[in-house]
Each structure stands twice: as C-alpha cells, then as structure tokens.
Amino acid sequence: MLTVTDVSKTFFPGTVNERTALDRLNLTMAEGDFVTVIGSNGAGKSTLLNAVSGRLIADSGSIEIDGRNVNRMPDYRRAKYVGRVFQDPLAGTAPNLTIEENLSLAFLRGKRRGLGPGLSKKRRGTFVEQLAMLELGLEDRLTAKVGLLSGGQRQALSLLMAGFTQPRIMLLDEHTAALDPQRAELVTTITERIVHEGGLTTLMVTHNMEQAIRLGNRLIMMHEGRIVYEADDQKKASLTVQDLLKEFANIKGATLSDKAFLG
C-alpha cells in the first residue's frame, strides 16, 4: 500500500543549521496496517508524514502509494490518496464555513469541483449519518459555523472529514496532543472507530507511548531520521511502556557510543 524507500530529507543544507530529518528511511505498509510512530523531538516523525503527504518533497528516495510513484506529486494531488489530521485542532477545518460546508469540501476529496451545488439533500443525508457516528450531537448543528465548536469537537470533525471518503492512506500527526486528557480519549476512541470501520491504512505519530502500544498493529520508533526499533503484531501484544523506555535508552546510548567511537 505504502512503500517508502531510502527517503532522505535535509533541512537548510550547507548551513550551520543543517539538520537531517530523514536518513535513508525505509518503511513498507500493507493494506489495513495501522502503524504507530514514536520517537524523540526532531526524530523526523512529522517530516515522514509531510514527505508522504507531499507537503514536503524528499531530497532522494522514492515514495509509492498503491504502487504509484508519487515523488513529484504536489500535496493537493496526493490528497486523492492521502487523508490527514494535524496536531492543531484548528488546522483541519475551515472556521467560517458551516459544518455541512466543511463536510462537503471533504466529501469531494481529489475530485473535480465544478458548478454543481455544494450542498444537496442527498449529501446532507450522508453527512447526518456520518456525524451521528461521532456521538457528539453535531448532526443537529449542520448549519453552525465550525469556529463555534470546541477543540475536541473540531478534531473529531477533522478526523471524520479526513477518513470518511476512505483515502488509501490516513496520516495522523499527534492529533490528540493539543487536547485535554478527556477530549484526547474521546478523539482516540473515534480514531479507532473510523480507522476500523473504514479499514484504513494508517500511520499515526504520537508522543504518548501508552497510546502507541494500545492502538494499531505495528509500532515503530524513530531516531535521527531512521527507524531504530520496530514491533510487529505479536511483539506489540506483550509490549509495555517500560520496554519502550528501555529501548529508547539503548538507542540513545548506542548513538552516543557510535559518536564517541568516531570522534
């Protein structure tokens, strides 16, 4: 479904601020895989998601979605295949448009937009059905402006909008990090439901190790632009936060000793 091969990305190359965000990274995801991504700050997690979504173009390597090479495809064209939810709850929706207008925008993911009416009875029916799944009562507020919703509600709506057209790949970038614990829990539950019901192939970055273990069928740990640890379904079943912390310490140590060795 998603094949990332030898992808590298360096920011500010040739300057004192040069930073390698992705270092010949490889990742393969099968259809229906739900991979959680953890790693320290600057490990390249968000860069990986940006490279897959097309917001950033990788320096080298190749990215294939569904066997199609998308290396040079700008983000708005990759959007046909890639759904995305950001950390900022305000990023995924248009605040001055109504809930139904936002859904209508999402409904046409990757399709040509012409002069047909943006809202119709039929579309509204679909939206009500989908919104009801969130169990937030938003289906009764179709004509409310999205800017009036709370952060949690907006993030739930963003998730729905990103997922309900069943994109080939779903990217979740710490999408519960900016919410209070209760709202984060709600959005996590909704995430599970949407991913499960749509059978979506999902790549989720999180800072929450407990969440990374609980969700999905695979877990990867990134460090300095590479995948340094990977747990498959079986391994993940018995994985604890303690294990992950230990792995984390090991990896950091390894890098340190490498450097010491070279230096």
Q: Which residues bind another protein (CB under 8 A)?
A: 53, 74-77, 79-80, 82-84, 90-97, 101-102, 104-106, 108-111, 113-119, 145, 147-148, 161-162
Q: Residue 203 CB, nearest distance to another protein (Å)?
A: 15
User: Any residues with CB less than 8 A from the CB of 88 and at least 6 apart, and which?
Assistant: 178
Q: Residue 101 CB, nearest distance to another protein (Å)?
A: 6
Interatomic CA distance for residues 3 and 1, integer angstroms: 7
Q: Which long-range contacts (CB under 8 A, 24 or more apart) does 129-135 make?
A: 130/103, 130/160, 130/164, 131/99, 131/103, 131/160, 133/160, 133/193, 133/194, 133/197, 134/160, 134/190
* E strand or H helix that includes residue 193: helix 181-198
Instruction: Look at the block and give the residue holding tokens 């800017």.
Output: 147
Closest to another protein by CB, 61 or 118: 118
Q: Residue 7 CB, nearest distance to another protein (Å)?
A: 20
Q: Residue 170 CB, nearest distance to another protein (Å)?
A: 12
Closest Cα to residue 150, out of 133, 136, 164? Answer: 136
Q: Residue 91 CB, nearest distance to another protein (Å)?
A: 6
- For residue 15, the SS3 value is coil
Q: In this structure, what token pair is assigned to residue 172? A: 């979740």
* E strand or H helix that includes residue 68: strand 68-69
Q: E strands within 192-244? A: 201-205, 218-223, 226-231
Interatomic CA distance for residues 44 and 227, integer angstroms: 10
